[in-house]
């Protein structure tokens, strides 16, 4: 089947940068889903940040109290009170006790709030990721088949793994760290200006240099981290292909070439990861050493100003006196260290922020995809038919179905019995508008007829069945189902009336019984066993270790390809749909098993409208109508004998004069 191609300018893998507004949208989604919890965390972060900074105030107050005690102990001749050491201590002791009690209380609040926001942050992060993954999966269920045809499975899976992990780091670490650092920096800035404007100017100069270095080094680090994610995605995709094609690799002795190809991709990943982590790892030492240099420079400038007896300027005014300036310097130094450390720690979040926002962009790309549209209003209902042919709707499962057709013009409702009459009129279709793959296709299938499609790969056989399921919508023409335009039928109800057996079987993790019941979830065990017998699958199922309760994993890897196909046929049988599509249903079954399955499928097809796609022409000889397709056109139609007598393309295919592929 032709693959739907993405737009030429579509980017694959991790985007180079986050889309504009991604952070705002992410925060909005985070806030809308977790308001009480998020509010509590923000309050705790604010309190933790402020209390962590306010504790620096106590150092200056403590130094002032000590200076006051020393003044009391100085001789009167030196301007002191002439008190003894114990008397001076008694004077300042109440102030010391007060400051220590207040400091202890502040630190206790800091510890409690820090514990709370760390604990609640973990809960919020996992809850948000759970909500996000659920939204992605729910969205995927609403997307059209064309989306999955145009996107690699590994690329979609990386959204659930790599991108959500990047989002986890952003939500659990980077955003709280930035919020905490921002509050701390503002508080520290006010505190520094209240201490000394001169020394604050020195800090501002150093911070400017730190920002320039962060922008240069951090920018390169972020660029290589994104390239690392792209290389990681390519390597994961390659590994997935090698695991799926393990037998092919062995049978063609391709191990050495596979290792060489892997080494090439692994080297690319190693190179990008090395560059990314090199820039990331050198940023912290650079920032730390700049902080140390700035610390020394602040002490030097402060000491120089004190020695030169320069009045200290702060937001509260001028302060005179060397001792007072020295106290300011001693209190200012730890505050400046805390200020530069906050900037240094914030700079370390650049990579996580870039990666998290890039991951969020990819998540939003999926969430913003246009879902499969369904404008249908005709539904499928259980019905009863009386002796006069009148159809009435019922909740019981009667085995009879009808199309419930509400007419908008007059408000009436009519019922049409589901029979399986399908007609196509002048249908054109292309997976992309500029490339039409079906041209002017017209056909009809009366109830109970068996229609076969033959032709080379890419002729359009599977495409026709995709249109019947409305996996894609036609570009032009009409398709009618029991006289109703299928565009008017709800897609879920349309697909409920169709059974399908694909060439590529898909089994799910669960028991054999659960996989058969996948065809109809309300089917009883007896109905599932009857379907298995119909498909001649009961014999091999009975020989499994636990029979129908045998657990299947990894797409039924513990079964042979033929056994998997038999289960797929049983799954279609239990659905008991009036229209059946068999797309190379027996292609993976040996000749002996095919003979048995053919009997089962003959019973399965009895009384149903059936569309058969086959490369083995022996499986379609008994079809009511055989249609030969070539390049998206029906070039011959008729039963087997008619087409043989025509001596055209079908005759060439059947006699081997022309290779089917």
Q: What is the pLDDT of residue 185?
A: 86
| Residues 175/44, Cβ–Cβ less than 8 Å | no
> Does the pLDDT value for residue 83 go beyond 80?
no
> Does the pLDDT value for residue 587 go beyond 50?
yes
Q: What is the pLDDT of residue 113?
A: 92
Tell whether 175 and 43 lie within a shared domain. yes
Number of neighbouring beta carbons within 10 Å of residue 192: 26
The reply to whether 10 falls in a domain is no
| Secondary structure (3-state) at 217 | helix
The rounded distance, in Å, linking the Cα atoms of 146 and 165 is 27
Lowest mean pLDDT, pick from 96-100, 523-527, 641-645, 646-650 = 96-100
- By CB atoms closer than 10 A (0-12, 13-18, 19+), residue 409 is exposed
Greatest mean pLDDT range, 92-101, 420-429, 592-601: 420-429
The reply to whether 4 falls in a domain is no
| Secondary structure (3-state) at 432 | strand
In 439-560, which ranges are continuous DSSP H helix?
Answer: 461-468, 491-496, 512-517, 525-534, 538-542
Q: pLDDT tens digits for 120-133?
A: 999 999 999 999 99
Tell me what percent of the residues of the chain surpass a pLDDT of 70: 89
The reply to whether 103 falls in a domain is yes
Residue 143's alpha-carbon distances to 241, 369, 370, in angstroms, are 25, 7, 7
Tell whether 87 and 223 lie within a shared domain. yes
Closest by CA to 510, choosing from 567, 467, 588, is: 567
Mean local confidence (pLDDT), 483-502: 90
The residue ranking higher by pLDDT, 592 or 571, is 571
Closest by CA to 405, choosing from 415, 395, 391, is: 415
CB under 8 Å to 412, separation ≥6 — which residues? 406
Residue 645's alpha-carbon distances to 624, 625, 633, 652, in angstroms, are 16, 14, 21, 11
Tell whether 194 and 340 lie within a shared domain. yes
> Does the pLDDT value for residue 212 go beyond 80?
yes
CATH number reported for the structural domain that contains residue 650 in this entry = 3.40.50.300
The residue ranking higher by pLDDT, 583 or 544, is 544
The reply to whether 299 falls in a domain is yes
The reply to whether 477 falls in a domain is yes
Number of neighbouring beta carbons within 10 Å of residue 11: 12
Residue 211's alpha-carbon distances to 67, 175, 226, in angstroms, are 38, 19, 22
| Residues 451/611, Cβ–Cβ less than 8 Å | yes
Q: What is the pLDDT of residue 467?
A: 92
Tell whether 510 and 393 lie within a shared domain. no
> Does the pLDDT value for residue 111 go beyond 80?
yes
Confidence of residue 658 (pLDDT cuts 50, 70, 90): very low
Tell whether 336 and 394 lie within a shared domain. no
169-188 burial by CB neighbour count: b if 16+ within 10 A, else e?
bbbbbbbbbbbbbebbbebb
The residue ranking higher by pLDDT, 544 or 324, is 544
> Does the pLDDT value for residue 637 go beyond 90?
yes
- By CB atoms closer than 10 A (0-12, 13-18, 19+), residue 375 is exposed
| Residues 238/262, Cβ–Cβ less than 8 Å | yes
Mean local confidence (pLDDT), 441-445: 93
CB under 8 Å to 96, separation ≥6 — which residues? 62, 65
Q: pLDDT tens digits for 363-409?
A: 999 999 988 888 899 999 999 988 888 999 988 888 889 999 998 88
The rounded distance, in Å, linking the Cα atoms of 659 and 302 is 92
> Does the pLDDT value for residue 634 go beyond 90?
yes
What spatial distance separates the first Cα and last Cα of the chain, rounded to whole Å?
14
Mean local confidence (pLDDT), 448-454: 90
Asked whether the CA dihedral 268, 271, 272, 273 is positive or negative, the reply is positive
Confidence of residue 636 (pLDDT cuts 50, 70, 90): very high
Instruction: Quote the mean pLDDT of the chain.
Output: 83
Tell whether 358 and 409 lie within a shared domain. no
The reply to whether 13 falls in a domain is no
DSSP string, 528-570: HHHHHHHTT-HHHHHTSTTGGG-EE-TTTTTS-HHHHHHHHHH
Domain with 411, as residue range(s), is: 379-417
Q: pLDDT tens digits for 146-196?
A: 888 777 777 788 788 888 888 998 998 888 988 888 888 888 888 888 888
Mean local confidence (pLDDT), 608-624: 81
Q: pLDDT tens digits for 268-324?
A: 888 888 888 887 777 778 887 888 888 888 888 888 888 888 787 776 666 656 667
Stated as kind and residue range, the H or E segment containing 313 is strand 312-314
> Does the pLDDT value for residue 540 go beyond 70?
yes
The rounded distance, in Å, linking the Cα atoms of 178 and 345 is 9
Closest by CA to 627, choosing from 454, 405, 396, 470, is: 454
Q: What is the pLDDT of residue 94?
A: 84
Number of neighbouring beta carbons within 10 Å of residue 227: 20
Q: Which two tokens stand for residue 19?
A: 């889309």
Q: pLDDT tens digits for 333-354?
A: 888 888 888 887 787 787 788 7
CATH number reported for the structural domain that contains residue 247 in this entry = 1.20.1560.10
Look at residues 335, 367, 399 and tell me which one is the last residue of a structural domain.
Answer: 367
Q: Which two tokens stand for residue 344?
A: 């240094």
DSSP at 370:
P
Radius of gyration of the chain (CA): 38
Confidence of residue 588 (pLDDT cuts 50, 70, 90): low
Tell whether 321 and 398 lie within a shared domain. no
Residue 233's alpha-carbon distances to 153, 216, 356, in angstroms, are 11, 26, 16
Look at residues 347, 367, 387 and tell me which one is the last residue of a structural domain.
Answer: 367
Tell whether 344 and 196 lie within a shared domain. yes
Q: pLDDT tens digits for 39-50?
A: 999 999 999 888
> Residue with structure tokens 């001596």?
647
Tell whether 335 and 482 lie within a shared domain. no
DSSP string, 594-630: HHHHHHHHHHHHTTSEEEEE-SSGGGTTT-SEEEEEE
Q: What is the pLDDT of residue 49?
A: 87
The reply to whether 373 falls in a domain is no
Q: What is the pLDDT of residue 451?
A: 92
> Does the pLDDT value for residue 591 go beyond 70?
no
The reply to whether 554 falls in a domain is yes
536-568 burial by CB neighbour count: b if 16+ within 10 A, else e?
bbbebbeebeeebebebeeebeebeebbbbbbb
pTM of the model: 0.75
Q: What is the pLDDT of residue 459?
A: 87
> Does the pLDDT value for residue 4 go beyond 70?
no
Closest by CA to 206, choosing from 299, 138, 270, 278, is: 299
Quote the longest CA-to-CA distance of the chain: 134
| Residues 261/238, Cβ–Cβ less than 8 Å | yes
Tell whether 302 and 386 lie within a shared domain. no
Q: What is the pLDDT of residue 33?
A: 78
Tell me what percent of the residues of the chain surpass a pLDDT of 90: 22
468-483 burial by CB neighbour count: b if 16+ within 10 A, else e?
bebbbebeebebbbbe
The residue ranking higher by pLDDT, 135 or 320, is 135
Q: Which two tokens stand for residue 520?
A: 């109809």
Tell whether 257 and 354 lie within a shared domain. yes
Number of structural domains in the chain = 3
> Does the pLDDT value for residue 5 go beyond 50?
no
Tell whether 405 and 466 lie within a shared domain. no
> Does the pLDDT value for residue 660 go beyond 50?
no
Q: pLDDT tens digits for 419-428?
A: 999 999 999 9
């Amino acid at each position: 089947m032709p693959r739907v191609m993405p737009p030429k300018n579509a980017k694959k893998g991790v985007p180079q940068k986050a889309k504009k507004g991604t952070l705002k949208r992410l925060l909005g989604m985070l806030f809308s889903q977790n308001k009480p919890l998020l509010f509590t965390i923000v309050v705790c972060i604010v309190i933790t940040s402020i209390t962590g900074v306010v504790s620096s105030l106590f150092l200056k107050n403590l130094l002032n109290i000590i200076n006051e005690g020393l003044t009391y102990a100085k001789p009167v001749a030196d301007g002191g009170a002439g008190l003894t050491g114990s008397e001076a201590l008694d004077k300042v002791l109440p102030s010391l006790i007060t400051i220590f009690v207040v400091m202890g209380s502040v630190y206790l609040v800091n510890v409690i709030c820090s514990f709370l926001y760390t604990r609640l942050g973990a809960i919020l992060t996992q809850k948000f990721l759970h909500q996000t993954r659920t939204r992605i999966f729910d969205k995927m269920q609403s997307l059209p088949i064309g989306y999955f045809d145009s996107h690699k499975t590994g690329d979609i899976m990386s959204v659930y793994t790599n991108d959500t992990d990047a989002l986890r780091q952003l939500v659990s670490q980077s955003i709280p760290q930035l919020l905490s650092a921002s509050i701390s920096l503002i508080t520290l800035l006010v505190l520094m200006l209240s201490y000394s404007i001169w020394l604050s100017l020195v800090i501002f100069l150093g911070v400017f240099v730190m920002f320039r270095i962060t922008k240069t080094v951090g920018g390169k680090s972020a660029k290589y981290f994104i390239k690392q994610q792209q290389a990681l995605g390519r390597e994961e995709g390659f590994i997935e292909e090698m695991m799926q094609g393990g037998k092919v690799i062995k049978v063609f002795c391709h191990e050495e070439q596979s290792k060489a190809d892997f080494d090439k991709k692994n080297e690319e990943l190693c190179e990008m990861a090395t560059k990314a982590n090199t820039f990331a790892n050198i940023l912290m030492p650079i920032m730390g050493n700049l902080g140390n240099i700035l610390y020394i420079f602040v002490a030097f400038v402060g000491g120089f100003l004190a020695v030169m007896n320069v009045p200290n300027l702060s937001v509260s005014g001028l302060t005179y006196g060397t001792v007072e300036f020295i106290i300011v310097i001693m209190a200012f130094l730890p505050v400046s260290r805390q200020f530069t450390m906050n900037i240094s720690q914030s700079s370390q979040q650049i990579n996580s922020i870039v990666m998290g926002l890039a991951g969020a962009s990819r998540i939003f790309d999926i969430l913003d995809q246009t879902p499969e549209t369904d404008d249908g209003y005709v539904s499928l209902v259980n019905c009863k038919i009386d002796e006069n042919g009148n159809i009435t709707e019922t909740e019981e499962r009667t085995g009879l179905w009808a199309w419930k057709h509400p007419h908008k013009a007059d408000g009436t409702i009519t019922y049409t019995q589901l029979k399986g009459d399908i007609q196509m009129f002048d249908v054109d279709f292309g997976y992309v508008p500029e490339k039409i793959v079906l041209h002017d296709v017209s056909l009809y299938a009366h109830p109970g007829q068996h229609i076969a499609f033959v032709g080379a790969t890419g002729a359009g056989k599977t495409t026709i069945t995709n249109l019947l399921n409305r996996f894609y919508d036609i570009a032009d023409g009409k398709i009618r189902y029991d006289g109703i335009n299928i565009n008017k039928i709800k897609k879920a109800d349309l697909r409920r009336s169709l059974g399908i057996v694909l060439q590529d079987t898909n089994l799910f993790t669960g028991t054999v019984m659960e996989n058969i019941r996948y065809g109809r979830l309300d089917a009883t065990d007896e109905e599932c066993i009857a379907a298995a017998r119909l498909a001649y699958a009961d014999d091999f199922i009975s020989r499994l270790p636990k029979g129908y309760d045998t657990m299947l994993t990894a797409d039924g890897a513990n079964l042979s390809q033929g056994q998997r196909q038999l289960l797929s046929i049983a799954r279609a049988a239990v659905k008991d749909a009036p229209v059946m599509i068999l797309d190379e249903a027996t292609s993976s079954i040996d000749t002996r098993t095919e003979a048995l399955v053919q009997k089962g499928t003959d019973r399965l097809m009895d009384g149903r409208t059936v569309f058969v796609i086959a490369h083995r022409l022996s499986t379609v000889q008994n079809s009511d109508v055989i249609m030969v397709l070539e390049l998206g056109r029906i070039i011959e139609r008729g039963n087997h004998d008619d087409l043989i007598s025509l001596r055209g393309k079908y005759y060439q295919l059947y006699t081997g004069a022309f290779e089917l592929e």
